[in-house]
Copies of this chain bind each other. A is one copy, B any other.
Amino acid sequence: MARDLTKEKVVATAAELANKLGDIQQLKLKDLAARLKIKVPSLYNHVKGLDGLVHALRVHALRILEEELRNVMAGKTGRDALMSAADSYRAFAHQNPGIYPLIIQAKGIDAETEKVSRDILTLFLLILGSFGLEGDEALHTVRGLRSLLHGFVSLELAGGFALGLELTDSFERLLSTFIDGIEP
């Protein structure tokens, strides 16, 4: 039977489906299998069940985010770099509403997930370094930055903000306030 289906295609299709649904809980193996034109048990040749799929989707999401952040940051420093990274983070969440929430669930972690997470952290620390932040100071600050980014986009995705006010304005003000607070 050896078809040209790979684990990568399975994961990419699952990501597409999850993002279209907007919620990973609604992604069913039945639908994924149908989309791939195979039967459900055949999925197990590629991923270790639903748990394995979710793990793979998490790594997939982290990799995309890492790459986008790295690209957009290239050659920038300070406020410019931070603003670009923040916009890119938010855009990633908008484009991947289904799998976005996976990137923070880092509880039972495998080595691969940890590595990509650490790479992303390093990118943020690089930006903060260009503000002159080092050591514990930088670590506290990166926690703050991640909090505000994750908090804003997840509230936004969940429809948690009332209407009537530009979301992008709110986001840029929040970042401005934060940057003003960390600038020397």
User: Residue A146 contacts which of B141, B149, B151 (CB distance < 8 angstroms)?
Assistant: B151
Q: Interface-forming stretch among A27-35, A65-73, A176-184? A: A176-184
In contact, B169 and A140 (Cβ under 8 angstroms): yes
Residues 144 to 183 of chain A near chain B (Cβ within 8 Å): 144, 146-152, 154-155, 158-162, 164-165, 169-170, 173-174, 177-178, 180-182
A-B contact pairs, 8 of them (CB 8 A): A104-B160, A105-B158, A107-B159, A143-B170, A144-B152, A146-B151, A147-B147, A148-B151
Residue numbers of A with Cβ under 8 A of B are 104-107, 121, 136, 139-141, 143-144, 146-152, 154-155, 158-162, 164-165, 169-170, 173-174, 177-178, 180-182
In contact, A182 and B177 (Cβ under 8 angstroms): yes
- Contact residues in B for A159 (Cβ distance below 8 Å): 106-107
In contact, B154 and A106 (Cβ under 8 angstroms): no
Q: Copy number of this protein in the oligomer? A: 2
User: Residue A136 contacts which of B148, B149, B165 (CB distance < 8 angstroms)?
Assistant: B165
Using A107-B159, A155-B104, A165-B139 as known contacts, say yes or no to A170 and B148 having CB atoms under 8 A apart: no
Quote the shortest CB–CB distance from A144 to chain B (angstroms): 4
A160–B102 Cα distance when bound, in Å, is 11
In contact, B140 and A144 (Cβ under 8 angstroms): no
